[in-house]
Structure 1
Amino acid sequence: MKVRKKDGSFQEFNLEKIVRSIEAASDEVGEPMTLSDLNNISKEVEKKLKALYKDEVSYAEIRDTIVNELKSSGFSDVAKSYSDF
């Protein structure tokens, strides 16, 4: 799956980037997440994006999916920090 970035370029979907960005957002709000939390949320995000059956997704679709997953998992402060990135 390809990701359409803000500048219009494409790159390959990278789950590790999602994990790192969620981790950075959680650290920023002083609510560090366990490795298990990070992996569970990122895997769920990947599953939901793949369920769209698209060859490409936009950064906005990824961001919105991550924010929604964080909120539904009880990490509202992290979701806010992530969406402000």
Structure 2
Amino acid sequence: MQSTDIDLISTAAFANGHPWAQYAWLREHASVFRHSDPDGPDFWALTKYDDIRMVSRQPKLFSSYERGTMIGEHDPGALEAS
């Protein structure tokens, strides 16, 4: 696996549950990972407890307040069970 294989966005990546292999690769090779999003701004994915703990304890330094969390609109029909 390579960093270009990481996909924490698409529904296909979660079709069979969580992408555990991707999480494991990230923890070993890139525990703080800048994930690109073709439909919005990039975001950071943290996969190690100590990193998450450090970031969560420093909200003035690590915050999405200025830009907020940007969640796009979804097609309601896409959410219906088939």
Q: TM-score range by the shorter chain?
A: under 0.3
Greater Cα radius of gyration, structure 1 or 2: 2
TM-score (norm 1): 0.22
Task: Say which structure, 1 or 2, has more relative contact order (CA 8 Å, 6+ apart).
Answer: 1
Instruction: Name the one with the larger helix percent.
Output: 1
Give the TM-score, by structure 2 length: 0.22
